[in-house]
Amino acid sequence: MTVTVADHEPAAGSPTTEPGRGILSRALLRQEFTLVLVIVVIGAAAFTRNHAFLSGDNVLELFRSSVIYFVMACGAALLTIGGGLDFSVGGVFTLGALSTSLLLVRDVPWPLAVLAGVVIGALVGLVNHLIITYWHVPPIIATLGTFFVLLGLDTQISQGDDVLPLPDAFTKLGQGSVLGVPNVIIYAVVVGVVCWFLLERTRFGVNVRALGGNRQAAVQNGLRVVRLDLALYAIAGATGALAGIIYTARVGAGQVQAGGAATTLNVVTAVLIGGVSLFGGLGSITGVACGALLLSTVDNALIVARVPPDYNNIIVGAILIGAVGIDHLRRKRLYRRG
């Protein structure tokens, strides 16, 4: 399905215009540099408490634990940059995991089971899009409603029990490694590169930023808004389900308690901390990677430093508030300059 149109000029005053594009790039680079600096500071503090923080095994675990949030956040970031919002990803995560697991225990070959799980996630994104577009329900309400529907559906299709045992050929996908690098990290890199390319090197990415920066101007300039929204919600659903499938391959079971509200909030947090604007138009995949890694670093550092886990929520909450506040100030500065 085509989601792009003939070349068009973004609206004046949007950060996607020139010289706004250069200003945007510099702002995103500063955001990413700041996140890396924060990660380094947190890591150094954890290292002083426990030198095991920088051990090879722990560093690999740190990256491995950030994979799930990053894969989900890639699709969520594209959607948010395009002016959308999806709070159903935690439910999609579980639905994709359980759907694939149920097919596997019925002897469906793992490639078909994985494909089916991803397609189901994309279909949930399609449903979100239809509710928002044709019923005119605000995205936050529509996707929250879908989230609760999925929670019930996940319990029904699994009868409240984890799905296992899963075939060895499938679990090796999540538990294996290549040259010492866990497979799950390789999957995350592939997803990240694909989403980065879409956003930064294609007309699709230009249209996404134009849509999120000024939806009314995008419509007036002939952008096929409905089709683009549909693609973005489908991508967000697909990456949410894919993350659930990767997690399932790693733990070796379709867990009905995986995902949920905590996963949704962590993904949204990673997206916003990573510099994606809640109001659309601004953000990058590399920033989202830094955001997911920051969340993983905070969690890992507290464990290694033997700090009570309750502090994790305090720190992440403070970072999230700061990220949204900084986003507000950044947008005011960018639009004033643009």
Cβ-based neighbour number of residue 3 at 10 Å: 18
pLDDT in tens, 76-117: 999 999 999 999 999 999 999 999 999 999 999 999 999 999
Residue type at 92 in one-letter notation: V
Q: Roughly what angle, to the nearest 10 degrees, separates helices 139-158 and 260-273?
A: 140
Q: Is the dihedral of CA 244, 250, 254, 255 positive or negative?
A: negative
- The HSE-up count of residue 324 (CA atoms within 13 Å, CB side) is 9
Residue 120: other Cβ atoms inside 10 A = 18
**Max Cα separation, the chain?**
59
315: which 2 tokens?
């720190």
Query: Is the N-terminal amide bond of 138 cis, ω within 30° of 0?
Result: no
pTM of whole model > 0.75?
Answer: yes
| CB 20 within 8 Å of CB 244 | no
Q: If pLDDT is split at 50, 70 and 90, which confidence band does 22 have?
A: low
Q: In 3D, which of 68, 33, 70, 69 has the Cα closest to residue 193?
A: 70
- pLDDT for position 112: 98
b/e string for 10-24 if b means 16 or more Cβ within 10 A? Answer: bbeebbbbeebbebb
Q: Indicate whether 324 pLDDT > 70.
A: yes
d(CA 316, CA 336): 30
pLDDT for the residue 15: 43
Q: For residue 12, which phi and psi values (nearest 5 degrees)?
A: -65, 140
Instruction: State yes or no: pLDDT of 283 exceeds 80.
Output: yes
Evaluate whether 294 touches 35 at the Cβ level (below 8 Å).
yes
